[in-house]
Structure 1
Amino acid sequence: MLVDSPPEQRADAASAPPARRAIRPLGLLVAVAVLAAVVVASIAIGARQLSLEQVWHGLFQATGTYGDTVVDDRLARTLLGLLAGVALGLSGAVLQALTRNPLADPGLLGINAGASAAVVTAITYLGVTSLTGYVWFAFLGAAVVGALVWFLGGSRGATPVRLALAGTAITAALYGFVQAVMIMDDAALGKMRFWTVGSLNTATDLTLRQVLPFIAAGTLLSLALARPLNAMAMGDDTAKALGAHLGRTRALAMLAATVLCGAATAACGPIMFVGLMVPHVVRSFTGPDLRWILPYAAVLSPVLLLGADVLGRVVARPAELQVGIVTAVLGGPVFIFLVRRRRTTQL
């Protein structure tokens, strides 16, 4: 639909080390198995201890007992973690390819800041008090800022540097607005403090239904962009020579990242390091081919997010640490280690 796989890409794939070509599909299967194990752990382990019998009863024979209610809450939380993890991983990988910046993440182009500014505006000036209301305002803010960054970056003539600069400038301005409003309004500060940390414990069936269509659409669009983004990685002139449509590809990539990150941020709040760190790890054993990076990121990002959520429930029993805190604590040292390895910082 967008562009065929370029000859250079096919040649590169053919000349890739046999070990790497063999391990990619096997590794993806292993990653799926690990994700399944983490999903089970996310449902079975929590601040409230339940037996495996109670977990089984809550999943398949629920009768409304206390244990059934806990399992139902954990199931919604786990499903939201799955969706948000997929969205953050894919949006991070797409943005790194779009900006040709291995340090890019959904926060670089102002998407997180747009969502945060919209939420604090809704709380302070429009009287919105429910999570279901936050979701739509956060998504609208992310979409508006994504469009503004695209316009300021030059629209169809946008370049990676222009997009990054526009996003950085808008992020600084919007976070200044958010901090000013929260300082002046104690009520907004109280309502925003859990959302801005990043959490999965507010998951509900309604929230899942609200964000699922956006994440599904963004996922399909991201996967469809793998080949044209691969072509653009070789430079604009080469990509044009291979028949890639630069403006259209950049616009669609920006749209995909905005939809994915906007939906995840709307539901969970801004969660750092997932979209930044996972593509680094993936790229170290898949190589630069986005046809493999994107599927791996879609599987391993939920592993990281749900694993961090489970860890946050266990280390502070009977209280919990929000997943955004855990990913920040874990992500900092790990990311420093990764960026010091030259091999993983190259796109």
Structure 2
Amino acid sequence: MTASAPPAPAAATRTAPARGRTVGLGAACLVLAVLCVASLAIGTQAVSLSTVWQSVTDYQNLGDQWIVHDLRLPRTVLALLVGLALGLSGTLIQAVGRNPLADAEILGINSGAALFVVSAIALLGLQGIWSFIWFAFAGALAAMAAVALIGMSGRAVVTPVRVLLAGVAVGAVMDGIGFAIRLRHPRAFDDMRFWDAGALDGRPLDVALAISPFIGVGALLCLLVAGSLNVTSFGDDLATSLGGNVIRTRVLSLVAVTLLAGAATAGAGPIGFVGLMVPHAVRRVTGPDWRWILAYAVVVAPAVLLSADIIGRVVIAPSELPAGIVTAFVGAPVLIWLIRRQGADRS
């Protein structure tokens, strides 16, 4: 008679997945660090790693140090902040709305922020990040309200695809109004043509410093609601019966998405699909736990945006392709794949 193997301890069974997630998160941090170095070294003119190190630690404006210090360092910092904001906002939208197709760009939130910024520049003559960042927040909030009203109106059942179509419609209208304003006031946007495409270059470090407090507050709100997202994902009635505060979670999430999406759009222009792709990519490692998905989004989303920016620098060298266009090339097929997945419209 053969002896049966003893069952694995319950504690070991519970800690094994957590250990794998921790290792994966550490690996993602390492990849992000490598991409940061690559962002400082790679471009129209390649810079040696020794020059990169000297530019960061002991800048003396010698040789190519100015390229790293004055051009690529602000660009890299902005990519980290904007990528973090887009990843967290997209994850929050998918979690609270229980919509796997949601993203700040697809739902028109970025378009709303961009429209209000364009209006502030053309109609009010405002210039500089501190002048129109508040309009970006107002535009993001207005777009979310419009999508909610349209998506939930009528007698039809609210589905992810219905909300998606409402977001596409709102975004299209706001983009159309924004382009009409640009055509009427072309001189006001001579210095912001690349901003429309979601570019990270040409931004001084002051832009990153201006949006960082708002992104920090948004990230803090994500931390506050992270523990409630798993409960609210079961539905309002069950979440309430389990002790979850659905209204508090949604209000805080709404404020967080407004801050994150508005700050990202004000700093780098409308960049889409990062918030859509990242939660789906990391879920293969994290599982359905939204706390881990948010933690991974903090690292993976900046890595995705940095990768897109680096690819844009070299794919049509010596010219550059804005990062927002690169993410659109990658993100559009991902959206089509998600829609075609069986049962995606019933998620």
- Do they fold alike, i.e. is TM over 0.5? yes
The 5-angstrom pairing of residues 200-279 of structure 1 reads: 200-279=200-279
CA distance in 2 between counterparts of 1:165 and 1:334 reads 17
CA distance in 2 between counterparts of 1:262 and 1:203 reads 17
State the partner residue of 1:185: 185
**98-107 or 182-191, which moves further after superposition?**
182-191
Superposition deviation, residue 186 in structure 1: 3.0
Q: Are the equivalent residues in 2 in contact too, given 1:218–1:257 (CA < 8 A)?
A: yes
Q: Are the equivalent residues in 2 in contact too, given 1:281–1:344 (CA < 8 A)?
A: no
- Kindly indicate whether residue 133 of structure 2 is the aligned counterpart of residue 127 of structure 1: no
Q: Are the equivalent residues in 2 in contact too, given 1:113–1:171 (CA < 8 A)?
A: yes
Aligned-residue identity in percent = 47
CA distance in 1 between counterparts of 2:22 and 2:346 reads 22
Structure 1, residues 184-212: CA drift from partner, whole Å, max 9, x if none? Answer: 33335645531110011133221121111
- Could you tell me which of 64, 79, 83 is aligned with 1:67? 64
Relative to 1, partners in 2 of residues 1:110 and 1:69: Cα closer, same or farther, differing over 3 Å? same
State the partner residue of 1:45: 42
**322-331 or 127-136, which moves further after superposition?**
127-136
Q: Are the equivalent residues in 2 in contact too, given 1:280–1:338 (CA < 8 A)?
A: no
CA distance in 2 between counterparts of 1:246 and 1:169 reads 28
Relative to 1, partners in 2 of residues 1:278 and 1:345: Cα closer, same or farther, differing over 3 Å? farther
Superposition deviation, residue 222 in structure 1: 0.7
Relative to 1, partners in 2 of residues 1:166 and 1:319: Cα closer, same or farther, differing over 3 Å? closer
Q: Are the equivalent residues in 1 in contact too, given 2:312–2:326 (CA < 8 A)?
A: yes
State the partner residue of 1:296: 296
Larger Rg: 2
Structure 1, residues 75-113: CA drift from partner, whole Å, max 9, x if none? Answer: 111111111111100100000011111000013444212
**321-330 or 56-65, which moves further after superposition?**
56-65
Gaps of 5+ in 2: 1-9, 153-157
Gaps of 5+ in 1: 1-12
Superposition deviation, residue 337 in structure 1: 4.6
- Kindly indicate whether residue 119 of structure 2 is the aligned counterpart of residue 118 of structure 1: no
Relative to 1, partners in 2 of residues 1:18 and 1:54: Cα closer, same or farther, differing over 3 Å? closer
**277-286 or 136-145, which moves further after superposition?**
136-145
Q: Are the equivalent residues in 2 in contact too, given 1:181–1:188 (CA < 8 A)?
A: no
Relative to 1, partners in 2 of residues 1:153 and 1:254: Cα closer, same or farther, differing over 3 Å? farther
CA distance in 2 between counterparts of 1:15 and 1:233 reads 27
Superposition deviation, residue 137 in structure 1: 3.3
Superposition deviation, residue 41 in structure 1: 0.7
Structure 1, residues 250-279: CA drift from partner, whole Å, max 9, x if none? Answer: 111111111111111110001111011111
The 5-angstrom pairing of residues 61-100 of structure 1 reads: 61-72=58-69, 73-100=71-98
- The alignment of Structure 1 onto Structure 2 pairs a total of residues equal to 331
TM-score by length of 1: 0.84
Quote the RMSD (CA, aligned, Å). 3.1
Relative to 1, partners in 2 of residues 1:24 and 1:55: Cα closer, same or farther, differing over 3 Å? same
**129-138 or 176-185, which moves further after superposition?**
129-138
CA distance in 2 between counterparts of 1:337 and 1:192 reads 33
Relative to 1, partners in 2 of residues 1:152 and 1:55: Cα closer, same or farther, differing over 3 Å? same
CA distance in 2 between counterparts of 1:15 and 1:183 reads 63
CA distance in 2 between counterparts of 1:71 and 1:141 reads 34
Superposition deviation, residue 326 in structure 1: 1.1
**284-293 or 13-22, which moves further after superposition?**
13-22
Q: Are the equivalent residues in 1 in contact too, given 2:89–2:275 (CA < 8 A)?
A: yes
TM-score by length of 2: 0.84
